[in-house]
Amino acid sequence: MIKSEVSASEAGLIYISDLNLGITRKLKNNVFHYCNSNGKKINDSKILSRIKSLGIPPAYRDVWICPEENGHIQAIGYDIKGRKQYRYHPKWRSFRSMMNHKKMIEFGLVLPEIRSKVLLDLAGEGLKKEKILASIVRLIDITLIRVGNDEYARENDSYGVTTLRKHHIKLLSEISFEIEFKGKSHKFHHIIVRDKRVTRIIIEALHVPGYELFKYLDSDDRLHKVDSDDVNNYIRSISGGDFTAKDFRTWWGTVFTLMALQKVQVDFDRPLKVKCELTKVLKFVSDQLGNTPSVCRKFYIYPGLIDAYLEGELSKIIQEFSLDKSYPKLSKEEQLAFWFFKRV
């Protein structure tokens, strides 16, 4: 049984995909009608009510709807840009949130070891694969740039760390450089990196033939491009867990949110003001991650943190926090986030 099937079962749901027969949506006389797998129009009010509750946008095409009310995926469709979009069962979303919470605790435990191994590999000789991958992970950790993939670079002219080109880099000194590029959703990024070890590798990389920034030499001195799979496999290898580049962004999303919420002074008897301050915090965090506030809240911030703030409990929880000397390679802000994950 594959991992998703096991997870669906643990959530009390059945694993399903759009390869299964499902309900289809058809537009007739400006009204949507729904048909079962036999092409027969559905009139059952309970089924139609479930479909309505999914909130499938009218603009979605090739809509597939799960025939079972306990399927982990409830609907799939394609938006106006041709991107595949999903509507999940509420139990599945809750289960995934719980698992992500657990995963962040595990990530916080191994993050010091990840950073130690990265620094060790950064000190390697030449342009060995581990050294290049270590420099990429270091960059992700300190800049939060997405890992990137060739498809996005090719089709959307948008970049991540692994797909950066040499023209995206401007050296400022022996210990710093500037990165300018267009990322996902056409968001422009301008980042100044001050890191002696990474800058030294960037200088080496700029002298390697080709327009790609990150390439490594194998044992036969042949050049190879680095891709997101290389980076994620490296992270798994040095962490001993099922972690990827995205986990750094999820980790920092919660850290930045905690940092910002700590500074909020608000009267919780004024709910509109409470929500207004949260909006400002989400905007701040989205600027750090290069996302929209809604994407940040949905994918990169632990929901329990926002709940604790809205319920007026966060400040009480933070007051109980004290620095833990057993995690010296985590900053004070990271230790607070790690402690919060364990606390709730």
Side chain identity at residue 154, one-letter code: R
Are 335 and 255 within 8 A, CB to CB? Answer: no
pLDDT band at residue 162 using 50, 70 and 90 as cut-offs: very high
Of 86-100, 160-174, 210-224, the one with minimum mean pLDDT is 86-100
pLDDT band at residue 93 using 50, 70 and 90 as cut-offs: confident
Is the pLDDT at 3 greater than 70? The verdict is no
Q: What is the pLDDT of residues 168-205, one digit of tens each?
A: 999 999 999 999 998 887 788 999 999 999 999 999 99
Is the pLDDT at 1 greater than 60? The verdict is no
Q: What is the pLDDT of residues 24-58, one digit of tens each?
A: 999 988 899 999 989 999 999 999 999 999 999 99
Is the pLDDT at 23 greater than 70? The verdict is yes
Distance (Å, whole) CA 321 – CA 215: 43
Mean pLDDT, the chain, as a whole number?
88
Per-residue pLDDT, 2: 45
Angle at 110 between CA 109 and CA 115, to 5 degrees: 130
Is the pLDDT at 263 greater than 80? The verdict is yes
Q: What is the pLDDT of residues 207-259, one digit of tens each?
A: 999 999 999 998 888 999 999 999 999 999 999 999 999 999 999 999 999 99
**Residue 244, Cβ neighbours under 10 Å: how many?**
17
Question: What DSSP character marks residue 61?
Answer: E
Of 8-12, 74-78, 205-209, 222-226, the one with minimum mean pLDDT is 8-12
Are 243 and 235 within 8 A, CB to CB? Answer: yes
Are 226 and 210 within 8 A, CB to CB? Answer: no
Average pLDDT of the segment spanning 86-115? 84
pLDDT band at residue 325 using 50, 70 and 90 as cut-offs: low
pTM here is 0.78
The full set of domains in the chain, from first to last, is: 3-88 (3.30.66.10), 123-243 (3.90.15.10), 246-343 (1.10.132.120)
Are 22 and 64 within 8 A, CB to CB? Answer: yes
pLDDT band at residue 341 using 50, 70 and 90 as cut-offs: confident
